[in-house]
Each structure stands twice: as C-alpha cells, then as structure tokens.
Amino acid sequence: MATDHGSANFVGVDISDIFPTAIFPRNCNFYQENFLDGVSQPDGTFDVVFQRNVSCGLTFELWQKAMAEAFRVLKPGGYYECVEAEYQLHNCGPFTHEYFEHLLMIMAYGSVDPLLVRALDKLMVAAGFTDVKVTEYMVPIGQWGGKIGVMWQHNVLTGMATVKNQLRKTAGMTEQQVAAASVRLEKELSEGRTHSIVHVVCGRKPE
C-alpha cells in the first residue's frame, strides 16, 4: 500500500520482529511494539488504524484495551477497521471439525471467546466509535476456492503447526499423532468445500 500511495505515510506495528526487508518504501516505518501496552505514537496521529487476525489471542478485556488504544491514536474523524475470521468452520469434514473443537478448547483455556468476533461492532460502539458498520464475507478454504482457498488452507495448516504443543496437552496426542493429524486435515480441506466467515468491522472516531 505504501508503494501504491506514495503521498500517504504508513506505520506498521507488531509484537514480533517479522518486518519486510526486501521492499521498504520511504513512506513506511515499522515498530516492534505491543499495542496492548500502548504504542509510541502520540494522541491523534492517524487518519486510519487497520488491525487484523488478532482475535485468537485477545480476551474481552484485551479487546477493550486494543480499541481504546486505536481510539487514542486516531485523529477526530479517523477510521478504525478490524478484520477477523471466525474459528468455526462450515461444511467441514469430521476430522477438521474435531481439530477445531480442540482449538476452541485451547482458546477457552486462555479465556478467549472464539465467537467474540461476532460482537466487535458492539465493542466498537462501547469504545466511543460511531458510524459502525459490519460486512461479512464467506471465504473458501481448500482447492475448490482457487488461489484464495489454497492460501486460506495454508493459513489453517500453519496455524496447526503453531499450536501443536497445546494440542498434545489438550487432546493427549503424541508428536507423531499431531503430524499424522496435519496430513489428515490437509486431505479433508483439499477434498471438501469448507469455508469460514470473515468479519470486517469499521467505525469512526467522532469529530
């Protein structure tokens, strides 16, 4: 986006050091910070704050902190947009369903409500945002969905790799069983017509 919109300034924030090095436009800066602790930007800095794919690690209270921080750094009249996927898949096979039940259990152990993404609009209103709008998209997972479906299938399988230790604890699986489960999951996703729902929620800071 920084390359396509050279007259705008972009700031990226992430808790992990995963910033790009090959392409680094002059109008784009990255900071390794935890937005839940507050970012280094002063009040009223940005016209737009965009946030995505954090719902698996945020409790209700942490969502409140995140939205309060977005409200703080936005200029009056600025927009805040969240993009989050549900962690309940639709039209999935029996093994995929079982895997996601274990994933939901892992989230519950961390006091994370997997269905909270359906109420982000209400959280935005409570945080002081106005003109809040919600758009839902059906996103295919697997080869039946073409390029997008293959990319989302990759996301699911990558996510499984990141929680394999938790899976071993909650499901009582050995490392070999987790590896075999990954193969079965990939097979079901490749052959079925599984999809997820992505919520895009946008609100405006009052003038």
Asked if 131 contacts 203 with a C-beta cutoff of 8 angstroms, the reply is yes
What are the angstrom distances between the C-alpha of 148 and each of 72, 98, 141, 186, 197?
Answer: 34, 24, 8, 15, 13
Q: What's residue 100's pLDDT?
A: 86
Q: Given 3-state DSSP classes, what are the helix, strand and coil percentages for the chain, each rounded to the nearest 5?
A: 45, 25, 30
Q: Is 1 exposed, middle or buried (0-12, 13-18, 19+ CB in 10 A)?
A: exposed
Quick one: three-class SS letters along 41-92? CCCCCEEEEEEECCHHHCCHHHHHHHHHHHHHHEEEEEEEEEEEECCCCECC
**19 backbone dihedrals φ, ψ, rounded to 5°:** -80, 150
Element (H, E) at 99: helix 94-109
- CA 26 to CA 29: how far, in whole Å? 8
Give the pair of three-digit tokens for residue 41.
């930007």
- CA 81 to CA 70: how far, in whole Å? 10
- CA 129 to CA 204: how far, in whole Å? 5
pLDDT tens digit sequence for 1-21: 888 888 999 999 998 887 777
Asked if 130 contacts 202 with a C-beta cutoff of 8 angstroms, the reply is no
Length of the chain: 207
pLDDT tens digit sequence for 59-98: 999 999 999 999 999 999 999 999 999 988 999 998 888 8
pLDDT tens digit sequence for 112-157: 998 899 999 999 999 999 999 999 999 999 999 999 999 999 998 8
What type of residue sits at position 157? Answer: L
Nearest partner of 31 among 44, 18, 22, 50, judged by Cα: 18
Q: Model-level pTM? A: 0.88
Triad 15, 53, 14: Cα angle to 5°: 15
pLDDT tens digit sequence for 153-164: 999 888 878 888
